[in-house]
Amino acid sequence: MFDVVSIGSITRDAFFDASSFPLVSDPNTPSREGFLLPLGDKLDIADVYFTIGGNAANASVTFSRQKWYAACVGKIGNDVAGEEVVRRLKKERVATKFLPVSETLPTAYSVLLMRNGERTILGYHGASNEFSMNDLRLKKLRAKWWYVSLSGESEKMYKPLIAYAKKEEIAVAVNPSGYQLMHRRNEILKSLKDISLLVLNEEEAALLTGIPFSREREVFQKLDALTSPGILAVTNGAKGVTVSDGHRVYRAGTFREKKLVDRTGAGDAFGSGFVAGLLRAKITKKNIRTASEAHINEAIRLASANATSVVEHRGATEGILTRKEADAPRFRRLTVAVQAV
């Protein structure tokens, strides 16, 4: 049996250095800026870098580097990109035996236009869009934990996956996509009682609850009531994270990065690092209620360390920490303020 199976998207990622692209101000983007790309003309790229990404691939690399028996499950295409992704996962000692291959659609592909650690992602879902329950041999995927993060149309698998995990007493960590939050909000809300860890960023938490995050207390109250006995983590980029286990609220900043290179994969590194921390404490579905303050502090530490290291590297998996790196002096101490609810 696996320790953790990551289920979701797997992509081929191409990073383009877009630091020479002209910028225009645009109040509708998160950074309030946009690239101005001349239609009908050429722009030179000074540097390109190819790697792997996708929530399932990223998370599975964390689990494997943290010395857990990890499998990655997501649909790829019958193409060179798919072969390369499998080769890289194998190199990471991630089990790829149960990876379905599409005969019709190519492997998901993302182009990331990079500028000063910020990026625009052009994402093509490809094979990961037709990933469905028919592609899974569920019995083979039994594990202590599942890390579920479904992109595009594969969100249809969400309900049956949660039902199976409940039946088999598999602890489930969920990081829903923006698409899933918009299309299947009620389905996610109803599933929270069967989830052991829900990881969201602030915008996603507001979207899921329908409450603006400026009313943070209400957001947590609503989610806590539905998630019990699970754990809830709401991230806020470089500002850090707020976690609730229903009894206590934990607030932490981040380990300061040496240099912000590329924030792609921060969310996955955090979520998977958190699960790796809970695994260390031997927390499973059955004993989730026994997760102590020390256990949660350790999960926050490991998650934050992993995310900081990832944003210091280009690509979503390059900076993922090994067990030894995660326990190095640099990442030993993170101040967490704990408050009883």
Neighbours of 190 (CB within 10 A): 13
Output the smallest distance, CB 61 to ligand ATP, in A: 14
- Pick the closer one to ligand ATP by CB: 237 or 246: 237
Of 8 and 267, nearer to ligand ATP (C-beta) is: 267
Q: Which does 241 bind (CB under 5 to 8 A by kind): ligand ATP, Mg ion, none?
A: ligand ATP
SS3 81: helix
Q: Which is nearer to Mg ion, 69 or 179 (CB)?
A: 179
* Nearest to 158, CA basis, from 128, 179, 136, 180: 180
Nearer CB in complex with ligand ATP: 110/254: 254
Sign of the C-alpha dihedral computed for residues 297, 299, 302 and 304 taken in this order: negative
Quote the least distance from Cβ 265 to ligand ATP, whole Å. 6
Tokens encoding 231: 């754990």
Q: Which is nearer to ligand ATP, 157 or 336 (CB)?
A: 336
CB of 200 to Mg ion, least distance (A): 8
Least Å from the CB of residue 328 to Mg ion: 26
Tell me the residue type at 305: A
Distance of CA 92 to the CA centre of its chain: 18
By residue count, the chain amounts to 341
Q: Which is nearer to ligand ATP, 86 or 261 (CB)?
A: 261
Q: Map residue 97 onto helix, strand or coil.
A: coil
Nearest to ligand ATP by Cβ — which residue?
A: 267
Report phi then psi at 123, rounded to 5: -110, 130
Angstrom distance (rounded) from CA 209 to CA 303: 24
The least CB distance from residue 163 to ligand ATP, in Å, is 26
SS3 179: helix
- Which residue of the chain is nearest Mg ion when measured via CB? 267
Q: How far is the CB of 20 from ligand ATP (least distance, A)?
A: 23
Q: Strand 101-102 vs strand 108-115: parallel, antiparallel, or unpaired?
A: unpaired
**Interacting partner of 308 out of ligand ATP, Mg ion, none (Cβ under 5 to 8 A depending on kind):** ligand ATP
The residues of the shown chain that bind Mg ion, judged by CB under 5 A, are: 267
Which of Mg ion, ligand ATP, none interacts with 275 (beta carbon under 5 to 8 A by kind)? none
Give the span between the Cα atoms of 22 and 324, in whole angstroms: 42
Name the residues that contact ligand ATP, by CB under 6 A. 201, 235-238, 240-241, 254, 257, 260, 263, 265-268, 270, 304, 307-308, 311
Which DSSP state fits 31?
A: T
